[in-house]
């Protein structure tokens, strides 16, 4: 057993929140084997194989390759479905106008911020629940689930109110005007109403994954996407089409599915579809947690504030929130760089390229979450060497799959962008960006899996430090130096312009070169931390 598994703090925490864990038949057999002898007849020898030390939950008794498969394929499909939500919003807005796409592009970064609460709590919940399940402590896992849901809804409501109030000011910071500004405010305010449900949905799915169930989060995401696609398309009133540049360089758009419904709500309809989908996802995940279908159960008694459990959640999740907030704010500044270039369609092209690239890192995201769950459960089961092997295997799989995406990005950038937008400005600007992104898919995969896997082990503080260092010490300076944009200060900072002192002026393409170079460097930083091994000894 690891030091964490038998420490006084861990046992004290367990005693204080509900007594003995609910044991499965398998758990009782393992405990009996440890206490009185297993198949060998020797006291203290468990019957589980050395390559499958997890003794409770849905991963109990599985080999590592089996556990990776069981965890990763639903997460991969679920992540694909999650990306479809943003893809559908961008696709439909691109069919409305360039201004509408700019509005959705700017709002998508704020939507990322809205996800931070659920993501941070989800990291804490995954680390705590996976270790509790690995040790056979079901009561601890249930208590963590209840406190996660309580925090997700409460903090989500606070964030929603702030974003709703600041929507006009944010649009001005992004240099949006006219139709783009109006569409941005409408879309953001409608979506803000669903942030509490989004927090419950995201963190609740993380609770399921921490218990080893990645199938039900997938089912929920399929439902969320179906609701979003149907409601958004019905209400916005646009046709589904694909675009391309023909041999003469002329823009050609072809309608695939004509919209037969009589609604024409535009951006407002897209936002209502997203809001409806989030609410549906939140309600479904609550229903499954209450039933205990995923291996953890949401009980009414666990919704009362329990400060010991809450402090542990915050201790693990807060560094992740600070890390991801730092990443978000850094990328928001990147978005401001694009806005300061003041070219129509540039912001939309930037977001279209991001939406395309989002599909490429789905394997890295899926393998990272699988690595996070396995790292936590193996460490909880007293086998940190298996946690290291699991992370390495997940990294290799992700690098191979994302490398294939990179090849496609470099060979077929025009055809890929044509699937995402009907606007000629995007067809001109986005393909070179996709080509640039294709060159760094393998280091991107390495960074994603190592970072997420070490987070699952509870190493969130170091992940935060490395991310902030890379974002503000490398990413922003490189992007700023290469894009050549001047900084426009808002009125509350005194206004005025700070002239870019660097000799480069490569615009949007220079900005993306800087972003991709930083990914390579960050992969090296996380690789160094992984080799150091301190992540496997962190107490949560």
pLDDT at 138 over 50: yes
| pLDDT tens for each residue of 210-255 | 888 878 888 888 898 889 889 999 999 888 776 666 666 666 677 7
- What is the rounded CA–CA span in Å between residue 199 and residue 15? 29
- Percentage with pLDDT > 90 across the chain: 26
- What is the rounded CA–CA span in Å between residue 224 and residue 274? 9
pLDDT at 249: 62
Smallest CA-to-CA distance from 357 within 413, 426, 411, 424 is with 413
- Residue 534 near residue 459 (C-beta atoms within 8 A): yes
Mean pLDDT, the chain, rounded, equals: 80
Place of tokens 């803000």: 192
- CA end-to-end distance (rounded Å), the chain: 15
pLDDT at 540 over 70: no
- What is the rounded CA–CA span in Å between residue 479 and residue 485? 10
Mean pLDDT, residues 379-408: 90
DSSP string, 395-420: HHHHHHHHHHHHHHHHH-HHHHHHTT
The two tokens of residue 473 are: 């010490």
pLDDT at 18: 30
What pTM value is reported for the model? 0.67
């Amino acid at each position: 057993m690891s030091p964490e598994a038998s420490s006084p703090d861990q046992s004290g925490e367990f005693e204080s929140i509900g007594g003995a864990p609910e044991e499965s038949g398998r758990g009782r057999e393992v405990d009996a084997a440890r206490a009185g002898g297993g198949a060998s007849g020797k006291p203290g020898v468990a019957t589980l194989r050395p390559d499958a030390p997890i003794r409770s939950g849905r991963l109990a008794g599985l080999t590592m390759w089996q556990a990776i498969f069981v965890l990763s394929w639903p997460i991969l499909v679920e992540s694909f479905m999650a990306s479809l939500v943003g893809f559908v919003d961008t696709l439909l807005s691109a069919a409305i106008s360039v201004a509408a796409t700019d509005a959705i592009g700017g709002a998508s970064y704020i939507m990322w911020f809205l996800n931070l609460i659920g993501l941070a709590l989800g990291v804490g919940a995954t680390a705590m629940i996976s270790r509790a399940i690995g040790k056979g402590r079901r009561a601890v896992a249930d208590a963590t689930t209840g406190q996660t849901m309580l925090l997700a809804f409460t903090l989500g409501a606070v964030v929603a109110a702030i974003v709703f109030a600041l929507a006009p000011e944010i649009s001005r910071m992004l240099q949006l005007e006219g139709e783009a500004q109006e569409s941005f405010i409408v879309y953001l305010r409608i979506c803000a109403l669903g942030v509490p449900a989004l927090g419950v949905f995201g963190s609740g799915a993380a609770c399921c994954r921490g218990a080893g169930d990645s199938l039900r989060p997938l089912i929920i995401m399929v439902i969320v996407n179906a609701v979003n696609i149907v409601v958004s398309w019905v209400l916005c009133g646009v046709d589904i089409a694909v675009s391309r540049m023909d041999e003469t360089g002329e823009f050609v758009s072809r309608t695939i599915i004509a919209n037969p419904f009589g609604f024409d709500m535009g951006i407002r309809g897209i936002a209502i579809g997203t809001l409806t989908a989030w609410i549906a996802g939140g309600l479904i995940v609550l229903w499954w947690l209450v039933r205990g279908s995923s291996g953890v159960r949401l009980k009414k008694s666990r919704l009362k504030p329990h400060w010991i459990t809450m402090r542990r959640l915050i201790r693990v999740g807060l560094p992740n929130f600070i890390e991801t907030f730092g990443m978000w704010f850094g990328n928001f500044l990147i978005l401001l760089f694009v806005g300061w270039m003041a070219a129509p369609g540039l912001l939309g092209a930037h977001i279209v390229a991001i939406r395309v690239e989002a599909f490429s890192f789905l394997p890295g995201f899926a393998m990272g979450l699988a690595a996070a769950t396995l790292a936590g459960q193996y460490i909880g089961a007293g086998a940190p060497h298996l946690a290291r092997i699991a992370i390495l295997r997940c990294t290799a799989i992700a690098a191979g799959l994302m490398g294939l995406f990179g090849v496609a990005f470099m060979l077929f950038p025009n055809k890929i962008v044509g699937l995402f937008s009907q606007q000629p400005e995007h067809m001109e600007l986005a393909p070179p960006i996709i080509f640039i992104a294709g060159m760094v898919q393998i280091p991107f995969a390495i960074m994603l899996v190592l970072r997420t896997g070490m987070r699952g082990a509870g190493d969130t503080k170091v992940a935060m430090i490395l991310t902030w260092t890379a974002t503000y010490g490398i990413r922003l300076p490189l992007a700023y130096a290469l894009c050549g944009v001047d900084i426009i200060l808002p009125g509350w900072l005194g206004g005025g312009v700070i002239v870019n002192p660097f000799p480069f002026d490569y615009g949007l393409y220079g900005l993306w070169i800087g972003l991709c170079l930083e990914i390579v460097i960050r992969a090296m930083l996380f690789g160094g931390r992984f080799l150091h091994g301190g992540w496997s000894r962190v107490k949560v």
